[in-house]
Amino acid sequence: MSNQALIYLHLLTPFLLSIPLLTLLPPPPSLPDELPGIRPITIRIVKPRRAFILTGLSFLAVTSFADAAVLVGDLLTAKGRGDIGHLEGLSLVSALVYAVGGFLIWALAAVICEWRARWGDAGVSVLGMLGLLCEIPNLVLLVSREVHTHDDQKLFTILSLPPSVLRLLVLPILLVVVLSPIIRYRPADETTGLLSDRNGGPSTAHSRAAYGSVSFDEENGTVKADPSAVTANGTNTPAGQKPSIKIPKNLGEVKKEDKPLPLKEVWTRLKKLSPHLWPSTSRKLQFYCILCIGLLACGRVLQPLVPISLGRVVRSLSLNQAGAMGPSPWPALIAYFTFRLAVSGSGILYFLQQRLWIPVSQYTDREMMMLCFNHLLNLSLAYHTKRNTGEVLKIIDRGSAINNLFST
């Protein structure tokens, strides 16, 4: 009786969870317009806990992937144990629907929340609540199945318990994180323009011409600058006087060719920049780097298994078509889809690697930009007056490629 209830629960759960998932697809509603004549003193800013929600949804997808891995292992070893009765018909279909459907729902929830920016939406709360309500009877029925299972079948029934327990632990945390966003209050003056209507500035069409030395053309609806009114540094001059133009470089000067640096100089510079490229001040980010390397190695190990499992599928289908009694193609086919889902260009390993690498890349960009701007601000005034701004920005942009040195 408990096995039948577990089968129906596994078939029903993905369809129930897909209902709140579909509510996340539309774009979020726009904010209501402010009432005219009312000026707020403070502005309430609600910031969802995006990183924690994304981590929770990703972890739930990993637990469903673990369910699929346990099912594949059970299928591959069922013939050797001589017991395939629990992996036939509706029981197999329900297990596949529950594992694959759960993985797709939690992974798509993370992707849609990132796409539509609906982290604190009510749909995420309903999704977590339905997942929790479905997971409690699922764990009870799994424990009941494990108690009534024979000794030769206990291994995979026991292995199916940890993913359910982990989901039961993560779902309440996810609900708390979604329902408790970060709420801050700040003065409205920080986000109000200097010449906006609410600050008493001009609200007519001439307000655009009242700020700076420009003239407004009412017939064409355009703004025309007055070149005789403002100089290059912003000071007023008489209409007949023209501002002087200074050329910082001699005309016709040939640019010197950049020679490649010697290997010793390259090593010296890399040694100086390595504390900023490698997260030397954060053990957490270093652990993320090690996890990314492990995921990369795991992907390289699983990559050859994709064509191997596909070859077994083709071989079993060829034998069955020729009339010979070959092995069933279903275990190899499920293994092929599992490996392909794990190591494809948008698979679970790639998703986890990119998710873990985001804080590392943010750390590198922040450290390198701080190093660059501190160096520029410590230079003399003569350097800044004799250099073109575009030239300095071009040099900074050219050197920003080193931020991705460690990721390559």
Contact 228, 82 (CB under 8 A): no
Provide the 3-class DSSP secondary structure of residue 207.
helix
241 to 148, 232, 238: CA distances (angstroms): 98, 13, 6
Contact 125, 48 (CB under 8 A): no
pTM assigned to the model: 0.47
Q: Give dist(CA 300, CA 200) in Å, integer.
A: 64
Q: How far apart are the first and last CA of the chain?
A: 55
pLDDT given for residue 360 in this prediction: 87
The residue ranges of every structural domain in the chain are 1-26+39-188, 263-408
Q: Give dist(CA 246, CA 8) in Å, integer.
A: 81
116-157 pLDDT, tens digit per residue, is: 888 888 889 999 999 999 999 988 888 888 777 776 677 778
- Asked if residue 208 has pLDDT above 50, the reply is no
pLDDT given for residue 62 in this prediction: 93
pLDDT given for residue 254 in this prediction: 54
98 to 10, 18, 57, 398: CA distances (angstroms): 5, 12, 16, 50
Confidence of residue 109 (pLDDT cuts 50, 70, 90): very high
pLDDT given for residue 59 in this prediction: 93
pLDDT given for residue 106 in this prediction: 92
Mean pLDDT score, 216-245: 48
154-193 pLDDT, tens digit per residue, is: 777 888 889 999 999 999 999 999 998 888 888 765 544 4
Question: Which range has the worst mean pLDDT, 40-49, 110-119, 240-249, 312-321?
Answer: 240-249
9-19 pLDDT, tens digit per residue, is: 888 999 999 99
131: exposed, middle or buried (Cβ count in 10 Å: 0-12, 13-18, 19+): buried
Structure tokens at 185: 């209050």
Fold of 263-408: ABC transporter transmembrane region fold (1.20.1560)
Closest to 160 measured CA to CA, from 238, 76, 66: 66
Structure tokens at 259: 């020679």
Q: Provide the mean pLDDT of the chain.
A: 77
274 to 269, 281, 345, 374: CA distances (angstroms): 9, 12, 30, 17
Contact 230, 215 (CB under 8 A): no
Percent of the chain with pLDDT over 90: 15
- Asked if residue 195 has pLDDT above 60, the reply is no
- Asked if residue 211 has pLDDT above 70, the reply is no
pLDDT given for residue 61 in this prediction: 92
Confidence of residue 373 (pLDDT cuts 50, 70, 90): confident
Percent of the chain with pLDDT over 70: 75
289-318 pLDDT, tens digit per residue, is: 888 888 888 888 888 888 888 888 888 888
Question: Which range has the worst mean pLDDT, 32-41, 208-217, 331-340?
Answer: 208-217
Structure tokens at 256: 């010197």
Mean pLDDT score, 233-245: 50
